[in-house]
Amino acid sequence: MKKKNSSKKETVVSKRRARQIAENDTAKHWAKEWLDALVWAFIAAIILRTFFFGAYRIPTPSMEKTLLTGDFLIVTKLAYGPRTPMTLSVPFTDIYTPGVDIPWFRIPGYSEIKRNDIVVFNYPIDVAPISVKTNYIKRAVGIPGDRIEIIDKLLYVNGEDANQFETLMYNHRVESRDRIRLSPAKVNDAGAAILQSNNNTYIMNMTADVAEQMSDWPEIVSVEKFVLPEDYETFNRRGFNFSRGFTNHDNMVEFTVPYSGMEVELSSDNWHIYQDILERYERNSVQRVGDTFIINGEETNQYTIQKDYYFMMGDNRDDSEDSRYWGFVPDDHVIGKAGIIYFSWDGERFLPRFERLFNLIH
């Protein structure tokens, strides 16, 4: 009897051990499946983010009223062609290995940048490897070879008026009737923002449509664009090379957006236009004394542009630090084309803007 009981106990223990082993194997198998799934999901996310799409948030009002602060965008990198990795970095972070540059190339996209596309790019004058520079978003108002001119705030491209977007914002000078103060709430509800006020004179930021509607208000005497006179010199606090040669950004004499193969004759008058191109983006050694240039050890005033460049401007024309200040965007700094707004958050009301969800970007 004792042997039988002992045998039964051993059988029960063996079954229990077998069940525990089976459960442990199942748990290990489950954990391995989940780990494999997470690894593959991480790899897929890296591939999608690197070569297909990117998610970006609008942090400033420089693109209003086209894009609002708090808009979240999907940007397609396939449009202009994704770039292969340029640095050795930690995925989904700004951490990279300084001094390690990876040979890279751009995979062909299905489209070229068209004039007035809204483009995400790396901020050119940041001091960092291209791919880890700050992301900017602006409208490509000038493509390679375009002639750009700004007269009294209005943009002209190749001699034609290029101000056809209803969402463009400008500063306006508004005068109200004597002893009448405008209601900030009424102004805000109309879609304008008061920037300055002095007695019955105001500086407001708004679209042309809002300005036209406001001019019909009974308490308003006049509404007109606030334009700096041609001889007014804007104080260049940031020292941008490009803007040093222009009196102010409301009036800019005509210049050509550089393109690959373009022959330029350098002079002290146009050096502000080309300095960053030669020294920063195309990495030449340049010494200059007046109108005499020594480029890579050779004395010459002739230079052939090596890359295509773009002229970018924000749609909120008086609240945008863009190409008017820091110059052109090289083609290797282009990330992708803004495609769709997938979410929008109103930070003032702490509410989603449901009417903007899944809107296509134009």
Specify the residue for token string 């609002």.
68
Cα distance between residue 185 and residue 115, in whole Å = 37
User: 169-225: same fold as 52-147+313-321+329-360?
Assistant: no
Residue type, position 68, single letter: L
Q: Which residues contact 330 (CB under 8 A, 6 or more apart)?
A: 124, 277, 281, 307, 308, 309
Tokens of 153: 């705030």
- Nearest by Cα to 154 from 250, 253, 63: 250
Residue 91 has a pLDDT of 74
What pLDDT sits at residue 98? 82
- pLDDT value for 29: 67
In terms of phi and psi (left: phi > 0; alpha: psi -120 to 50; beta: otherwise), the region of 36 is: alpha
Calculate the CA 317 to chain-centre distance.
15
Instruction: Dig out the tokens for 177 from the structure.
Output: 């009737």
Strand-strand pairing, 298-299 and 53-57: unpaired
CA atoms within 13 A on the CB side of 247: 16
Contact 253, 245 (CB under 8 A): no
Whole-angstrom CA distances from 247 to 157, 228, 235, 287, 325 are 20, 10, 9, 25, 11
Please report the pLDDT score of residue 296 as a whole number: 96
Task: Give the chain as a 3 state SS string.
Answer: CHHHHHHHHHHHHHHHHHHHHHHHHHHHHHHHHHHHHHHHHHHHHHHHHHHCEEEEECCCCCCCCCCCCCEEEEEECCCCCCECCCEEECCCCCCEEEEEECCCCECCCCCCCCCCCEEEEECCCCCCCHHHCCEEEEEEEECCCCEEEEECCEEEECCEECCCCCCCEEEEEEEECCCCCCCHHHHHHHCCEEEEEECCEEEEEEEHHHHHHHCCCCCEEEEEECCCCCCCCCCCCCCCCHHHHCCECCEEEEEECCCCCCEEECCCCCHHHHHHHHHHHCCCCEEEECCEEEECCEECCEEECCCCEEEEECCECCCCCCHHHHCCEEHHHEEEEEEEEEEEEECCCCEECHHHCCEECC
Output the tens digit of pLDDT for each of the chain's 362 residues.
545 555 555 565 465 665 666 556 665 667 777 776 776 666 766 666 666 788 899 999 999 999 999 999 999 999 999 999 888 877 767 777 887 888 999 999 999 999 999 999 999 999 899 999 999 999 999 999 999 999 999 999 999 999 788 999 999 999 999 988 999 999 999 999 999 999 899 999 999 999 999 999 999 999 999 998 877 776 666 668 898 888 788 999 999 999 999 999 999 999 999 999 999 999 999 999 888 999 999 999 999 999 999 999 999 999 999 999 999 999 999 999 999 999 999 998 899 999 999 999 98
Q: Per the CATH hierarchy, to which homologous superfamily does domain 52-147+313-321+329-360 belong? A: Umud Fragment, subunit A (2.10.109.10)
The CATH number of the structural domain formed by 169-225 is 3.30.70.80
Provide the 10 A C-beta neighbour count for residue 310.
Answer: 26
Half-sphere exposure of 287 (CA within 13 A, CB side): 5
- How many whole angstroms from its chain centre is CA 302? 32
Would you kindly state where each structural domain of the chain is located, as residue ranges? 1-47, 52-147+313-321+329-360, 169-225
Q: Is the N-terminal amide bond of 65 cis, ω within 30° of 0?
A: yes
50, two tokens = 């690197």
Rounded Cα gap, residues 281 and 6, in angstroms: 85
